[in-house]
Structures are given as structure tokens and as C-alpha cells.
Amino acid sequence: MPFSCTYILIFVILSAASARFVCSADVEDAVHLYKFKDYVVDDPFQALSTWKLDSPSRPCDWTGVTCDVNVLKTGVPVVRGISLPNKDMLGALWEDIGNLKFLKLVNLTGNRIVMTFPSYINKISILETLDLSNNSLHGVLPPFGNLKYLKTLLLSDNRMEGDFPGTACDGGALRTVDMSRNKLAGVISNSISKCNYLEALRLSGNALHGNIPGTLNQLTRLRVLDLSENQLTGSLPVAVEQMQYLTELVLHNNQFTGSITTSITSAIYLVMLDLSYNEIGSFIPDSIGRLSFLAHLSFSNNKLQGTIPQSIGNLTSLAAVLDLSNNSLTGDIPSSFRNLEHLQKLDLSGNRLSGSLPDIWEKFQFLKAMDLSSNQYNGSIPTSFQSLLNIQYLDLSHNFLNGTLPIELSKLVKLSVVDFSYNNFTGFLPDWLGDISSLSYLDGSHNGFVGSLPLSLQNLSYLNVFDVSYNNLSGYLIDIPIFRQFVESGYLDNEQGLCGPIFNTTCSSADTTDTESETYKFLKSAAEKSQYLPLFTLAIFGVGVVLLLVLCLFFQKCQPKLFRELLEFCDLEVSSMIKCCGRKKRFSYSDLCSATEHFCNRNIIGVGHQCKVFVGELGNDEKHAIKVFNANAFKEIKLHFLEDCNVLAEIQHENVMQLQDWCYKRNFLALVHKYMPNGDLYDALYDIEVVNFLTWDERLGIALDVANGLAYLHRFSKERRRVCCQLCPGNILLDEYCRAKIAGLRVLRESDTTLLMEDVLKKRQHNKKQDIVQSPKDFVNYIAPGE
């Protein structure tokens, strides 16, 4: 029994000591971590809100903190990582971070850490990953000799200075270094050989200068080398073949000279090779075809000469980019290009390539962008272009291409940018252009296109750049928004000249004849030139008469009611025309079109449920209001339109709106009145923008004007025909002298006379906006008294 008690006592003592040690470790890490809050002056996302010393939770439960309980045999949890990326915290690194002896990961990318790079980072001896990218660190790197386990150093998008590698490789274990977009302004020194485990080196966007050191060939494990956007000079690295695992070589935007050596083409595992924007000359080596894993190849903006080697066709893995633009390459496009069927972007612009475009594009179903501009290509567009079903960008400008735009291009429905400018294309601009609804940029300038513009272009709702200048376009152009939008820059300098109100020019009768259909123009021209024109016309007339008789017999037998209505309409229209034949029409449909710019929306001054009201200058440049009825109203009033117009034209009083004219043709009804510049009484009384517009004397005058107008309508209805209207502030119009005129008159028909006032009053509704009495039929608000 004493023996057992002794062991129990020892166990209790050891357990208490262990618990005290665990508790002590937790508290120590918590204190070191918590001090970070003192260095953070702005925490917009409350990332550190859970960091509290008085909380029962351990630091391992705090946001962004990770722990490991298996480091010590005692099972004590220790802090192994701090990860608070993209929290936009403003502050600095705290010195106590160096006391977290077991820390392996620090990730504070995407914050606002503003300070000199801290030297106490060197105290974290087992640190493996340090990511402080996208902050505001400056200065030079401190000694890293104590960081023997550091594998990943990410400091991009800061303001670090000095040369490279400096002290970065002192630890000897670095695998990945990214110091892109800093202010490194020195050279790449020979000490880079100390980074012999390096696999990825990214130093783009700095001001490094000088040559690439020869010791770079000792980095045999290197997979990624990105030195782009610096000021490096000299020849391209010649020891690339020793980097047998190299997959990315990115050296664009430097000042390298010399030629593309065979050592580069010996790096057979390259997936990305970008040497663009340098001063590299000579030829593209035929050995380029050995890079069978290449997906991205760019030699653009150099001084390369000669032809494009056929061996490029061996690069069947090219699935991203082939860019050879802005060099001095000659010859034609190799036929082996047909093998590059996975390519997404092809850019051969800005060279001296010539010949016809090869018909090799049947399998390019992934191609999204093709730029062949600024070369010397001739011939027509190959029909295999119709297979480019995913293409969005097509630039063939500044060549010598000719012929017409093939209808096969209408299949390219995903096109957004099309540039055919500065070529020798001829023929009409095709109607199918309007079917490519995604077009936002269309340039066909400096060609030989003829005819007018297809109306289908109005379907291109995303179009924001349109240029067809310097062609031979001609004819009448209808004024629709899409044409007017580009009139100042897109339609100028066509040899024959487009015309119409959109250009403030008049057209000859030949120009205005049937602009909508080029097919009809062709048929009409052919008919006019035919020696059988009289016989052809007579035959058409005879067929028309026969068809009319057949239709009449059909309607009389199968649709007797419709047939009777048709006869009634024809009889009424003829009789109405006879009634008005003694009155000379003042304005034609063409006059109304010209006055309203073909009924352009910007000339609308009012919209109702049955009509739109346009303003336009007619006659002696006097403004008129033109009320155009919509399709629904047309069906309701067409049978009595002419008869009613003749009645309303007889109303002559200074306080009643006088009907100046009307227009009646197929599917079009319009009334013409004088324009009232001061709007209606409702706006003058209630619109906050014109409040207090009317003086009390003017208001009294308006009341008297309305009374005089009503008195006249009483007499007119008694002596001639009864009329009705909505007597409301919205139908009292004010001229330039604020004299009131009653508007909205309508002839009262026999079918309406049963609507007596007592029936109206029983069913009336009060409308606060217009202060009127509304009946079941809208117009019965005022009915002139009968006999």
C-alpha cells in the first residue's frame, strides 16, 4: 500500500509540472503574438478581433494562427504558422516575431506593411516560407545566413532595393524567389551560384542591368527564369541546355542582342519562351521545332529576318500564343501551320510576309485572335476561315487583299473586333454583318466598297467603333441611331457620297429609290434594261388582277363578315377622299420625315398610350407638333380618320387647337398642329422645375380662354358635328404668349352618344394627377351639349 501511494504522488507531481509547462508555453506564444496588434494601426476587416489575452481560448484558436502538437514530445502545442493574406492591414512587423522559435510560415501578402525590411526575421531559424509580397517594404535584404531552412521567399510588389542575390542565398536552401516589381537596380552577381537549389527565379519589373552572369548555368535545377522588364544587355544566355528542367524562359522587354542560339532550342522541356521586345537579330533557327512541349512562343518586336521555318509546324502543343509580330520576316505562311490546331492567338502582323493567305484553317476551332495586319498579303479571304468558330478578334488591315467579303464569314458569330481597312476589297457591304451581334469594332475604311450601308447594321447594339470612310459608298442613308452615332468620323470621304438628312444633304431621286434592298435594285435595273419590259409589266398586272379576284371570291365565301368590313372601308375611304379633294394638302409624308429626321427619338416631345408627338420645322421653318399614331390606335381609328379630320379642320377659334394638316397612308396616320412652346397647363401649375411660371393675371387669362373655347365648341357642336375631349390641365396648351388652347378634340360618333353624362358621373374616378373626371371610355370627360 505505501508503495502504491508513493507512485501516485509522483504521478500527480509530474502531471502538475507538465500542465504548468504547457500553460507557460501557451501564455508565452500568446504574449509574443498579441504584440502584433500594437503595430497594426488599421484593421478594416477586423482580422485580429479574435486575438485576446483575456480570452479562455488559446492562441491556436486565433484567426490566422496554426499550431502543431507533435513538435515536442511533451505534446505542447507550438505556433507554426501566421497566415493573414489580403486583409489590408496597415502597420509593421513586430520584433517579437523573432521569439516564435518554431515558426515555419509567415504569410502577410496583400496588406499595407510599411517599414524597412526587418533584420529580426533572421532569428526565426526554422522558417521555411516568407511571403510579404504586395506590401510597402523597402531597403535591402539583411543577412539570411541563419535561415538555413528558408525555401520560399516572396517579396514581389514592394520597394526593395539593391542588387541580386545579395544575401538572399546565404542560407543555401532557397527553392523559389520572387522579387518582381521592386526597385532592384544593381546587377545579377556571380554569387547567384550559391542558390544551387533554386527552381524558380522571378525578377521581372525591376531596373537590373548588365549581362546575365555565366554562373547561371550552375542552377541546374532551375525550372522558371523570368528576368523580363529590366535593362539587361548582352547576348542571350548560352548555357540554357544545362538547365535540363527549364520550362519557362521569359526575357521580354530588355536590351538583349545577338541571335537565338541553338542552346535555347536545346531546352526541350520549355513550355513558355518569350524573347519579345529586345534587339535580337538574325533568323529563327530551324531547330525551334524541337521544342515539342512549347505552348507559348513570342519573338515579337525584334529584328528577326528571313522566312518562318516550316519546323514551327512541329510545335503541335502550341495551345496559347504564337507571336512573331513586328519583325522583318518575309515569305509566306508555311503550310505546316495547319498542324497548330490548338492555337488560341496568332499574331504575324508588322512583317513583310506576302503571297496569298493559305487555305489551312479548317481545324483551328480554338483560335480566338488572329492578327495578320501590316503585311503584303494579296488575293481573297480563304473559305476555310469559316471554321474559326471561336474567333473574337480578326485584323487583316494594311494588306493588298481583294475580292468581296465571303458569306462564309457570317458563321463567325463570336467576332467582336473586325478590321478590313486599307485593302482592295470591293462589292457591297454584306447584310450578314448585322447578324454578328457581338461586334463592337468594325473598320472597313480605305477599300473599294460600293452601294449603300445595309440596314441590318442597326442590329449591332454593342458597336462603338465604326469606320467605312474612303470607299465608293453612295445612296440614301436612313437616319437611324447607329448611323447617326458615327456620322462625324465614320462616313466621310466616300467618292460617290452618301446622302440624306443624317448628313444634312439632299439626295437625287435615283439615290432615294429603294435603299433598303440591293437585290431589288439589281432586279429593277435588269428590268429597265430589258427589251421585254412592257410585256413583263403587263404580265405582272394581269397576274395581280387574277389574284385579287380569287381573294375577293375567297373572302366572300369563307369570311363574309370580313368581306363586308373591307367593302365598307374601301367605300368610306373613297368617299372621304372625295370630301377632302377640294382642300389642298400642305405637307406630304416626305415633309414629315424630313422635319423629324425620320421620326428620330430625340425629336419626341410627348408620348401617349396611342401615339408619339414629334417636333419639327415645316413650311417657312415654323415649328409644328406632329402626332403619329401607333399600330393599336391605327386599327381603332383608320375607318373614320379622314372623315374626322375634315370635321376637325373646320374648327377655327383662337382658343382651340387648330388642325393644320394630316397624313394618311398605308400603316401611317399623323396629325399636324402648331407647336406650343410653353407646354401644357398641368406642367405650368405642378412641375417643380417651372413652378411660379404663371402670374395670377396669366392664370385668370387662361381661365377666360378656356371658357371662350368651350363656348365656341358648344356652338360648333350644335350647328355642325358634336365633338368631345378630355378637359384636363394636360389638354390645355399654352402658346408663346401663354394664351390657352383646348386640345385633344375628337368627333363624337353615333355609337358614343349613349354615354350620357349621368351615366358617366355614376362611374367616375378622380385622377389627382390630371384633376379630371374619367368615364369607362377615356374621352368622355367633356361632351358638348346636343340640341
Percent of the chain past pLDDT 70, that is, above it, reads 77
Amino acid at residue number 158: N
- Could you say which DSSP state residue 489 is in? H
Q: Which of these, 217, 262, 213, 215, lies nearest to 234 by C-alpha position?
A: 213
pLDDT at 635 > cutoff 50: yes
* Confidence (pLDDT) at 508: 64
Q: How far apart, in Å, are the Cα atoms of 231 and each of 155, 167, 208?
A: 20, 22, 6
Instruction: With H, G, I as helix, E, B as strand and everything else as coil, classify residue 652.
Output: coil
Which range, 76-80, 112-116, 596-600, has the best average confidence (pLDDT)?
112-116
Q: Is residue 568 part of a domain?
A: yes
Query: Model-level pTM?
Result: 0.63
For residue 532 the three cell numbers come to: 421585254
Q: How far apart, in Å, are the Cα atoms of 469 and each of 61, 417, 427?
A: 69, 17, 15
Higher-scoring residue by pLDDT: 604, 339 = 339
Q: DSSP per residue over 592-620, as a string?
A: HHHHTTTT-GGGEEEE-SSEEEEEEEETT
Same domain, 701 and 607: no
Cα–Cα dist 474/510, whole Å: 11
* Confidence (pLDDT) at 514: 43
Q: Is residue 21 part of a domain?
A: no
Q: Is residue 334 part of a domain?
A: no
Give the model confidence (pLDDT) of 699-748 as tens digits: 888 888 888 888 888 887 777 777 877 788 888 988 888 889 988 887 77
Are 350 and 377 within 8 A, CB to CB?
A: no
Give the model confidence (pLDDT) of 466-480 as tens digits: 888 888 888 877 777
Q: Is 640 exposed, middle or buried (0-12, 13-18, 19+ CB in 10 A)?
A: middle
Q: Is residue 506 part of a domain?
A: no
pLDDT at 583 > cutoff 80: no
Percent of the chain past pLDDT 90, that is, above it, reads 39
Which range, 420-424, 545-549, 557-561, has the best average confidence (pLDDT)?
420-424
Same domain, 573 and 598: no
Same domain, 597 and 659: yes
Lowest mean pLDDT among 237-241, 303-307, 413-417: 237-241
Same domain, 594 and 575: no
Q: Which of these, 393, 285, 306, 309, lies nearest to 352 by C-alpha position?
A: 306
Cα–Cα dist 294/110, whole Å: 33
Q: DSSP per residue over 239-273, as a string?
A: -GGG-TT--EEE--SS--BS---TTGGG-TT-SEE
Same domain, 736 and 668: no
Cα–Cα dist 707/216, whole Å: 101
Structural domains in the chain (count): 3
Q: Is residue 318 part of a domain?
A: no
Are 398 and 421 within 8 A, CB to CB?
A: yes
* Confidence (pLDDT) at 491: 61
Cα–Cα dist 66/88, whole Å: 20
Q: Is residue 523 part of a domain?
A: no
Q: Strands (DSSP E) along 13-85, which ranges?
A: 40-42, 65-68, 78-83
Lowest mean pLDDT among 304-308, 344-348, 413-417, 576-580: 576-580
For residue 293 the three cell numbers come to: 512541349
* Confidence (pLDDT) at 109: 96
Higher-scoring residue by pLDDT: 14, 182 = 182
Give the model confidence (pLDDT) of 83-122 as tens digits: 999 999 999 998 889 888 889 999 999 999 999 999 999 8
pLDDT at 692 > cutoff 80: no
Are 648 and 745 within 8 A, CB to CB?
A: yes
Cα–Cα dist 326/311, whole Å: 21
Pairing of strands 765-767, 90-91: unpaired
Are 302 and 327 within 8 A, CB to CB?
A: yes
Same domain, 557 and 591: no
Q: Domain with 590 in it: what CATH number?
A: 3.30.200.20
Lowest mean pLDDT among 103-117, 357-371, 658-672: 658-672
Helices (H), 134-186: none
Q: For residue 394, count other CB atoms closer than 10 A to its CB.
A: 23
Same domain, 688 and 785: yes
For residue 32 the three cell numbers come to: 509574443
* Confidence (pLDDT) at 693: 67
* Confidence (pLDDT) at 535: 59
Cα–Cα dist 269/245, whole Å: 7
Q: Assign 781 a pLDDT band (cuts: 50, 70, 90).
A: very low
Pairing of strands 136-139, 622-629: unpaired
Give residue 648's domain range: 583-675
For residue 84 the three cell numbers come to: 493573414
Q: Which of these, 238, 329, 232, 240, lies nearest to 281 by C-alpha position?
A: 329
Cα–Cα dist 647/663, whole Å: 15
Which range, 540-549, 552-561, 633-642, 756-765, has the best average confidence (pLDDT)?
540-549
Mean pLDDT of the chain: 80
Higher-scoring residue by pLDDT: 401, 686 = 401
Report, as an integer, the average pLDDT of 416-423: 94
Report, as an integer, the average pLDDT of 486-506: 67
Same domain, 685 and 772: yes
Instruction: With H, G, I as helix, E, B as strand and everything else as coil, classify residue 437.
Output: coil
* Confidence (pLDDT) at 633: 67
Q: DSSP per residue over 697-744, as a string?
A: HHHHHHHHHHHHHHHHHHHHHHHS--EEE--SGGGEEE-TT--EEE--
* Confidence (pLDDT) at 776: 34
* Confidence (pLDDT) at 404: 93
CA angle (723 as vertex; 721, 725 as ends), nearest 5: 175
Residues with Cβ < 8 Å from 216, sequence gap 6 or more?
188, 192, 193, 237, 239
Same domain, 572 and 638: no
Helices (H), 35-54: 36-39
Give the model confidence (pLDDT) of 241-278 as tens digits: 678 889 999 999 999 999 998 888 888 899 999 999 99
Q: Is residue 36 part of a domain?
A: no
pLDDT at 586 > cutoff 50: yes
Same domain, 774 and 670: no
Residues with Cβ < 8 Å from 113, sequence gap 6 or more?
89, 91, 92, 93, 132, 135, 136, 137
Give the model confidence (pLDDT) of 279-336 as tens digits: 999 999 999 999 999 999 999 999 999 999 999 999 999 999 999 999 999 999 999 9
Q: Assign 462 a pLDDT band (cuts: 50, 70, 90).
A: confident
Higher-scoring residue by pLDDT: 315, 606 = 315
- Could you say which DSSP state residue 235 is in? B
Q: Strands (DSSP E) along 348-470, which ranges?
A: 354-356, 369-371, 376-379, 393-395, 400-403, 417-419, 424-428, 441-443, 448-451, 465-467
Q: In the listed set 651, 675, 699, which residue is the last one of a domain according to the structure?
A: 675
Same domain, 766 and 752: yes
Residues with Cβ < 8 Å from 580, sequence gap 6 or more?
642, 645, 646
For residue 547 the three cell numbers come to: 389574284
* Confidence (pLDDT) at 279: 95
Same domain, 662 and 712: no
Q: In the listed set 524, 546, 580, which residue is the last one of a domain according to the structure?
A: 580
Q: Is residue 686 part of a domain?
A: yes
Q: In the listed set 580, 613, 648, which residue is the last one of a domain according to the structure?
A: 580
Cα–Cα dist 193/197, whole Å: 9
Are 173 and 149 within 8 A, CB to CB?
A: yes
Give the model confidence (pLDDT) of 745-774 as tens digits: 877 765 554 333 333 333 333 343 333 333
Q: Assign 205 a pLDDT band (cuts: 50, 70, 90).
A: very high
The owner of cell 555565366 is: 214
Q: How far apart, in Å, are the Cα atoms of 99 and each of 19, 86, 124?
A: 22, 24, 7
Are 766 and 728 within 8 A, CB to CB?
A: no
pLDDT at 18 > cutoff 70: no
* Confidence (pLDDT) at 391: 95
Q: How far does the chain reach from its first CA to its final CA, in angstroms?
A: 133
Torsion angle defined by CA atoms of residues 69, 70, 73 and 75, in that order, rounded to the nearest 10 degrees: 20
